[in-house]
């Protein structure tokens, strides 16, 4: 019950215009397949997919400060688990997703335990996550049961029927599935952000020693952040498997994939609720737009698009260090909130923190300590 | 399997490992002083390799002669890169620095792709097939030369850091940044020089490695990962650690290629990395991790 109340409270603190905008956005997204053609639909699916995985990664990095550069590991493990269960044993993807979440949470727990036991953090932790993803990639290259490096394929069914049980059929179904995931990622993030765990996460991110001194079980909450993030990413993997129908270790576990995942939240605004969504939209549209523009200009030389993409990334990080959303939110007035709302601001203005979705209401530095102190009774 | 084969493979892995070590040394020096993880390290290496390939194809210049101009050019490039692009990011959080260098890496890799196409390139020098016989061992001449040059470059770098006033100033920055600023050292200039030295290392390593391996634009990210693995195993920021890590990875890759399967060789490297992080996170030669 209290969980449900918390969930409701997620949005009550936001300004009215923010809630209205969110409702309009959701309505537009639900109606969109009526007007979009197949290509634009696929672009929208891509945006929602990246918004979702970005959101999942953001829980770990944006909220709890643990930089993972190996999230492709969870996408790949989730995808392979559900796909192998479906193909070999006929297990429906909804059940396969549960197994996928289990596998990914187990992997995340192993990595987290290994790292946090020794206080590995920052760069070292990031490189450890890369190592595990690469290790698994090469392992799957030699894993014959799921096709090894030759790839693993799901039976493609060409029909306009939507088979929701087996997730086979028309792209519109995948659009709604991706939309559902994006909403799920948003709601889970919002819930964590406003809940007790969110305060602990941010305390750990901003000053781990202080958080520990104040009584936060930092090991437990860092593990929790990694596990939640991995569980959500596993579902993205299941979606990936059934949407694309083919899996290659070389592609799905590639470090390039891990980087793709983290671009959206970083460009959009790390540690914010809307950053991953906005970043996914901006980056996907930029990428597709570049494709179109280069095709129109007749300059489809491989590599040119990536160079322009790289320049855009570099400029974005140089001139908008906190991402697009915090700046935009300030302009739109989404950062103001009602007087009675709980304050959750943990970083000073200009700090690298949740300046977007969380309130900008004046919170004294004491807010940083108030949350962890509760650890004693929790 | 005859012992001689194993010994030969170990020897060639060891010699290649010294070149890897030089590459990783560049990364380690930069991290040790500037505290920036150069995510574009391998991509810079690929650029150096292409420079050597092109010079060889166009004018028949031996990559060993290209060492000096490439190292000089990379020194300048590193200085400009640090002073102009990276320096404003020193105080920024790690993910910001990562994004910036990732953008640099993307531009470098795809610049190579646009300029030279996706095909693998290499250099065929006329002494490529010569070898020395040392007891039961048969060692490629190229590998011996590369390893010797790599060692000499490392020794030079050690000497610069140990015995010159400039090296002392850089070590001061690494040990105590505030203290270095207080006594009036020009930190951003020294940081840029350190970055330049690190990139020069990679330039030399690239000219050497082109004699031992093919290069494609996509080699860049793979080299970056390799350099990470090596410095973490040796100890991020430790100079002897980078060399030892390079040799360890060179030998283990060669042995894995012989005993298991060539495609599994980087799996062994990553397994080593995970083992080191689990058992001794500061690396074999590193001081306690922060």
Query: Tens digit of pLDDT for each residue in A139-171?
Result: 898 888 888 888 899 887 766 677 787 778 788
Instruction: Determine which of A323-327, A340-344, B16-20, B164-168 has the lowest per-residue pLDDT on average.
Output: A340-344
- The answer, yes or no, to whether residue A297 has pLDDT greater than 80, is yes
pLDDT at residue A14, as a whole number: 63
Question: Would you place residue B8 in the very low, low, confident or very high pLDDT band (cuts 50, 70, 90)?
Answer: confident
Instruction: Supply the range of the domain harboring residue A105.
Output: 2-377
Residues of A in contact with B106 (CB under 8 A): 306-307, 309-310, 313
Residues of B in contact with A317 (CB under 8 A): 96, 99-100, 103
Nearest CA-CA partner of B208 in B271, B142, B133: B142
The answer to whether residue B113 neighbours chain A at the CB level (below 8 Å) is yes
Minimum distance, in Å, between the CA of residue B135 and any CA atom of chain A: 37
Measured between alpha carbons, how far is A76 from A227 in angstroms, rounded to an integer? 16
Query: Tens digit of pLDDT for each residue in B213-233?
Result: 899 998 888 899 899 889 888
Residues of B in contact with A352 (CB under 8 A): 93, 96
At A146, phi and psi to the nearest 5? -115, 30
Boundaries of every domain in chain B: 3-279
At A162, phi and psi to the nearest 5? -105, 110
List alpha helices for chain A, DSSP H.
2-12, 16-31, 38-58, 72-89, 93-117, 122-141, 171-194, 196-206, 208-213, 218-244, 249-252, 255-268, 275-297, 304-319, 324-332, 367-373
Token pair, residue B268, equals 């062994």
Q: How many CA atoms lie within 13 A of A150 on its CB side?
A: 5
Measured between alpha carbons, how far is A117 from A108 in angstroms, rounded to an integer? 13
Question: Would you place residue A375 in the very low, low, confident or very high pLDDT band (cuts 50, 70, 90)?
Answer: very low
> CATH no. for residue A223?
1.10.3470
pLDDT at residue B37, as a whole number: 87
Q: Residue A4: count other Cβ atoms within 10 Å of its Cβ.
A: 8
By percentage, how much of chain A surpasses pLDDT 90? Answer: 39
The answer to whether residue A256 neighbours chain B at the CB level (below 8 Å) is yes
Q: How far is CA B113 from CA B110, B210, B217, in A?
A: 5, 17, 6
Residues of B in contact with A138 (CB under 8 A): 263-264, 266-267, 270
- The answer, yes or no, to whether residue A3 has pLDDT greater than 60, is no
Mean pLDDT calculated for residue range B204-220: 91
| Residue A20 vs residue A299, higher pLDDT | A20
- Pick from B94, B106, B274: CB nearest A310: B106
Question: Would you place residue A348 in the very low, low, confident or very high pLDDT band (cuts 50, 70, 90)?
Answer: very low
Residues of A in contact with B99 (CB under 8 A): 263, 266, 313-314, 317
| Residue B238 vs residue B204, higher pLDDT | B204
- The answer, yes or no, to whether residue A358 has pLDDT greater than 50, is no
Residues of B in contact with A61 (CB under 8 A): 95
Most confident of A95-99, A292-296, A310-314: A95-99
Measured between alpha carbons, how far is B281 from B269 in angstroms, rounded to an integer? 15
Could you tell me which chain B residue has the CA closest to the CA of A311? B103
- Pick from B98, B100, B277: CB nearest A128: B277
- Interface confidence (ipTM) of the complex: 0.84
Q: Is B3-279 a CATH 1.10.3470 domain?
A: yes
The answer to whether residue A302 neighbours chain B at the CB level (below 8 Å) is yes
pLDDT at residue A363, as a whole number: 37
DSSP secondary-structure letter at B47?
H
Name the pTM for this structure.
0.83
pLDDT at residue A163, as a whole number: 78
| Residue B243 vs residue B267, higher pLDDT | B243
The answer to whether residue B156 neighbours chain A at the CB level (below 8 Å) is no
pLDDT at residue B56, as a whole number: 92
At residue A158, the 3 state secondary structure works out as: coil
Question: Would you place residue B32 in the very low, low, confident or very high pLDDT band (cuts 50, 70, 90)?
Answer: confident
Token pair, residue A375, equals 């650890």
- The answer, yes or no, to whether residue B201 has pLDDT greater than 50, is yes
Most B-contacting residue of A261, A310, A315, A323 (CB-CB within 10 A), to test interface: A310
Q: Residue A36: count other Cβ atoms within 10 Å of its Cβ.
A: 16
pLDDT at residue A12, as a whole number: 54
Measured between alpha carbons, how far is A222 from A5 in angstroms, rounded to an integer? 25
* Contact in structure between B270 and B46 (CB atoms under 8 Å): no
State whether B99 and A141 contact (CB < 8 Å): no
Total number of domains in chain A: 1
H or E stretch at B150:
helix B141-163
Most A-contacting residue of B262, B267, B272, B286 (CB-CB within 10 A), to test interface: B267
Q: Are strands A162-163 and A152-153 parallel, antiparallel or unpaired?
A: unpaired
Q: How far is CA B282 from CA A262, B52, B171, B234, B238, in A?
A: 26, 35, 19, 8, 10
At residue A68, the 3 state secondary structure works out as: coil
The answer to whether residue A120 neighbours chain B at the CB level (below 8 Å) is yes
| Residue A127 vs residue A241, higher pLDDT | A241
Query: Tens digit of pLDDT for each residue in A311-347?
Result: 888 888 888 888 888 888 888 777 655 433 344 444 4
- The answer, yes or no, to whether residue A366 has pLDDT greater than 70, is no
């Amino acid at each position: 019950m209290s969980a449900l109340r918390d969930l409701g409270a997620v949005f009550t603190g936001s300004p009215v215009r923010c809630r209205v905008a969110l409702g309009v956005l959701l309505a537009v997204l639900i109606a969109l397949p009526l007007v979009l053609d197949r290509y634009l639909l696929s672009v929208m699916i891509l945006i929602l997919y990246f918004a979702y995985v970005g959101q999942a990664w953001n829980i770990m990095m944006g909220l709890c400060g643990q930089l993972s550069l190996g999230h492709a590991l969870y996408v790949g493990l989730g995808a392979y688990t559900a796909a192998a269960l479906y193909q070999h044993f006929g297990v429906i993807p909804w059940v396969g997703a549960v197994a996928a979440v289990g596998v990914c949470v187990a992997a995340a727990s192993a990595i987290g335990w290994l790292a946090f036991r020794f206080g590995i953090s920052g760069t070292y932790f990031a490189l450890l996550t890369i190592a595990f993803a690469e290790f698994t990639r090469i392992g799957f290259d030699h894993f014959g049961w799921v096709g090894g490096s030759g790839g693993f394929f799901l039976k493609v069914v060409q029909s306009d029927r939507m088979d929701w049980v087996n997730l086979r059929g028309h792209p519109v179904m995948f659009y709604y599935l991706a939309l559902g995931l994006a909403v799920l990622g948003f709601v889970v993030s919002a819930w964590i952000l406003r809940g007790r765990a969110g305060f602990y996460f941010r305390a750990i991110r901003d000053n781990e020693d202080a958080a520990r001194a104040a009584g936060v079980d930092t090991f437990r909450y860092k593990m929790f952040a990694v596990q939640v993030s991995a569980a959500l990413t596993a579902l993205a993997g299941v979606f990936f498997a059934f949407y694309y129908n083919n899996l290659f270790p070389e592609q799905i576990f590639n470090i390039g994939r891990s980087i793709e995942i983290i671009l959206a939240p970083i460009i959009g605004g790390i540690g914010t609720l809307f950053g991953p969504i906005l970043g996914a939209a901006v980056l996907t549209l930029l990428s597709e737009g570049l494709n179109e523009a280069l095709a129109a200009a007749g300059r489809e030389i491989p590599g040119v698009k990536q160079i322009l993409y790289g320049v855009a990334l570099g400029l974005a990080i140089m001139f908008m260090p906190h991402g697009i959303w915090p700046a935009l939110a300030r302009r739109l007035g989404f950062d103001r909130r009602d007087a009675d709302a709980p304050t959750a601001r943990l970083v000073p203005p200009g700090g690298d923190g949740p300046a977007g979705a969380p309130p900008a209401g004046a919170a004294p530095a004491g807010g940083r300590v108030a949350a962890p102190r509760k650890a004693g009774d929790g | 399997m005859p012992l001689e084969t194993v010994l030969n493979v170990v020897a060639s892995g060891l010699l290649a490992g010294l070149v890897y070590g030089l590459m990783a040394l560049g990364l380690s020096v930069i991290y040790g002083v500037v505290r920036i993880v150069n995510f574009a390290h391998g991509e810079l290496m690929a650029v150096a390799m292409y420079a050597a390939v092109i010079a060889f194809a166009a004018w028949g210049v031996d990559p060993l002669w290209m060492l000096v101009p490439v190292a000089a050019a990379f020194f300048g490039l590193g200085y400009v890169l640090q002073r102009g692009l990276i320096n404003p990011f020193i105080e920024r959080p790690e993910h910001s620095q990562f994004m910036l260098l990732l953008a640099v890496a993307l531009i470098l890799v795809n610049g190579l792709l646009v300029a030279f196409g996706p095909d693998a390139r290499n250099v065929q020098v006329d002494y490529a097939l010569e070898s020395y016989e040392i007891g039961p061992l048969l060692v490629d001449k190229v590998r011996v030369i590369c390893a010797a040059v790599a060692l000499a470059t490392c020794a030079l770098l050690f000497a610069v850091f140990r015995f010159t006033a400039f090296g002392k100033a850089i070590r001061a920055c690494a040990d105590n940044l505030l203290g270095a600023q207080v006594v009036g050292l020009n930190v951003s200039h020294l940081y840029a020089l350190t970055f330049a030295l690190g990139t020069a290392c990679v330039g030399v390593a690239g000219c050497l490695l082109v004699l031992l391996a093919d290069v494609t634009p996509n080699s860049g990210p793979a080299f970056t990962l390799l350099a990470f693995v090596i410095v973490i195993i040796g100890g991020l920021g430790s100079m002897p650690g980078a060399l030892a890590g390079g040799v360890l990875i060179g030998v283990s890759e060669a042995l894995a290629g012989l005993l298991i399967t060539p495609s599994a060789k980087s799996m062994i490297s990553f397994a080593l990395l995970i083992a080191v992080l689990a058992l001794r996170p500061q690396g074999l030669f590193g001081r306690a991790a922060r």
